[in-house]
Structure 1
Amino acid sequence: MAALDTAWAERWLRESARVIAEHRQELIDLDRAIGDGDHGENMDRGFAAIVAKFDEEPPASLAGALKMAAMMLMSKVGGAAGPLYGTAFLRASTAIGDAEALDGPAVARMLAAGRDGIVARGKAGPGDKTMVDAWTPAVDAAAGGADGHAALSAAADAAEAGAQATKPLVARKGRASYLGQRSAGHLDPGAVSTALILRAAVTATAEADA
C-alpha cells in the first residue's frame, strides 16, 4: 500500500474538494433545514481555494499541505465552518510535525488533534448535534487501527455512522439550537461534511494503489 505521505495529503484534499463540490447542494439543503443554508456553498468555495493554492504552490511536506489547507479555509470560508475546519487542519498539521508519512498511531493523533481543535473553538461536545458527533467516533475508531490505512478506514466508517446518528438529536449548539425540538429529524450538515472529508482520505489511498 502507498504511504500516507505528502502526495497522499494533496490527493486527500483534492478529493475532498471534488466530493464537497459533488455534494454542495445536499449540504446547502441540510443547512437550510436547521441553519443558515450556506454550509455547502462555503465549503465548496473553501476547498476550491485549497485546490487553486496547490496548483500554484504544491505542498512541500505532509504537515505543510494541511497547514495550507487551514489557511485557505480560515480566509475563504464564512460562517462557523471556516474557523472550525481551519483550526482542525492547523492542529492536525502541528500534531504531524515533521513526519514524512503516517502510521496508525500518527493518524489517530492527527484526527484527535483536529477534533480537539474543533471542540476548543466551538465549545461543543458529543451529543450536541454538531460535527463533533462525526469527529469523536472517528477519533475513537482510529485509535484501534493496525496501520495508517486501517486507522483511516475505521475513522471514515465511524464518522459516517456518527453523522447519521445526528438525525434524532436536538441541537444544543450553533444556529440549529435556536430551533429546539424542531432541530430533531435532520442530519447535521457539519457532521455530514466531516464524513465526506474523512472518506475522501480513504479514497486518496485507493487512488495511490490503482
Structure 2
Amino acid sequence: MQTAATDVRAARDELTELDRRVGDGDHGVNMDRGLSAVVERLDDPALPPRETVGQVLRLAATTLMSTVGGAAGPLYGTALLRASKVTDRPDLSASGVVSMMEAAVEGIVARGHASVGEKTMVDAWQPAAEAAERAEDAEDVADVLRAAAEAAAAGAEATVPLVATKGRASYLAERSAGTQDPGARSSAIILAAAVTAAEGRDA
C-alpha cells in the first residue's frame, strides 16, 4: 500500500489527464488522496497493528470507500474487501495470491456489472487474475504477482481502442476510443507496486 501510494502519486497527472478525456478528470487526484489516507491510517499508532494481509486490505478498502469519489472508491473498496476475506494470514503463498486476485475480480464485477471489453478496470483485473492462476506453480510469490501485473498492464493498454459501454466514459460513445481507461491504468500501477513490494521483501 505504501508503494502503491507513492507510485500513484507519481502518476497522478497522467491518471487525471486520462480521466479528463473520458470522465470527470479527477481520478488521479482521488486515487492519490485515497491511498495517502490508507498509508496514514496504517502508520497511525493509535490504531491497532494489522497482523495479516486481510487486515491491511480491509483497512484499505474502508478508507478508499470513504475518501475516493466517483465510482473508483466503491469499486476498489469492494475489490479489496472481498480480497481481505480470503487473505486472513500474515503472508501469502502463490495460491493465496491467486485467491486474492480472484476475489478482487469478483468484487469489481459484482459492484460494477462490467466484463472484459467494456473499457473498465475489469480489463486489467480479469487478465491479471487469470495470469496469476497460470503462474500459481511458481516458487516465488513475486513471480505470481509479476505475471498478474504484466497482464494487467497489457489489459489496460488494450482498452485504448475500445469504445466504452460502461461508466461515465460510455456517454462519449465512439469518442471514448483512443484513450486508455484510467481505472484500468491505476489498477496496473497498483499491481505493479505489489511486485515491487514483494521483491523488496524477498531481497
TM-score scaled by length of structure 2: 0.94
Q: Which amino acid aligns with 1:208?
A: R
Deviation at 1:101, TM superposition (A): 1.7
Q: Which amino acid aligns with 2:145?
A: L
- 1:96 alignment partner, SS class: coil
Deviation at 1:59, TM superposition (A): 1.8
Q: Which amino acid aligns with 1:86?
A: G
- 1:127 alignment partner, SS class: coil
Deviation at 1:60, TM superposition (A): 2.4
Question: For 1:79 and 1:208, how far apart are their aligned partners in 2?
Answer: 34
| Conserved? CA contact 2:114–2:166, under 8 Å | yes
Deviation at 1:100, TM superposition (A): 2.5
Does residue 144 (structure 1) correspond to residue 134 (structure 2)? The answer is yes
Listed as ranges, the gaps of 5+ residues in structure 1 are: 1-12
The range that moved more, 143-152 or 32-41, is: 143-152
Q: Which amino acid aligns with 1:85?
A: Y
Aligned match for 1:24, one of 12, 37, 47: 12
Q: Which amino acid aligns with 1:93?
A: S
Question: For 2:200 and 2:92, how far apart are their aligned partners in 1?
Answer: 17
Q: Deviations over 1:85-129 (max 9, x none)?
A: 0001100000113x2321111111100100110000001100000
Alignment partner, residue 93 of structure 1: 84
Alignment partner, residue 128 of structure 1: 118
Question: For 1:91 and 1:189, how far apart are their aligned partners in 2?
Answer: 22
Deviation at 1:66, TM superposition (A): 0.5
Q: Which amino acid aligns with 1:179?
A: L
Aligned match for 2:34, one of 21, 46, 56: 46
Corresponding pairs, count? 197
- 1:143 alignment partner, SS class: helix
Question: For 1:103 and 1:49, how far apart are their aligned partners in 2?
Answer: 28
Question: For 1:113 and 1:198, how far apart are their aligned partners in 2?
Answer: 15
Q: Which amino acid aligns with 1:156?
A: A
Question: For 1:141 and 1:89, how far apart are their aligned partners in 2?
Answer: 19
Question: For 1:48 and 1:103, how far apart are their aligned partners in 2?
Answer: 27
Deviation at 1:138, TM superposition (A): 0.2
Q: Which amino acid aligns with 1:107?
A: V
Q: Deviations over 1:142-173 (max 9, x none)?
A: 00222422210100000000000000000000
| Conserved? CA contact 2:163–2:174, under 8 Å | yes
| Conserved? CA contact 2:52–2:87, under 8 Å | no
Alpha-carbon RMSD: 1.0
Q: Which amino acid aligns with 1:157?
A: E
State the 4+ residue runs in structure 1 displaced beyond 2 angstroms: none
What are the equivalent positions in structure 2 for 1:63-142 lying under 5 Å apart? 63-97=54-88, 99-142=89-132
Alignment partner, residue 149 of structure 2: 156
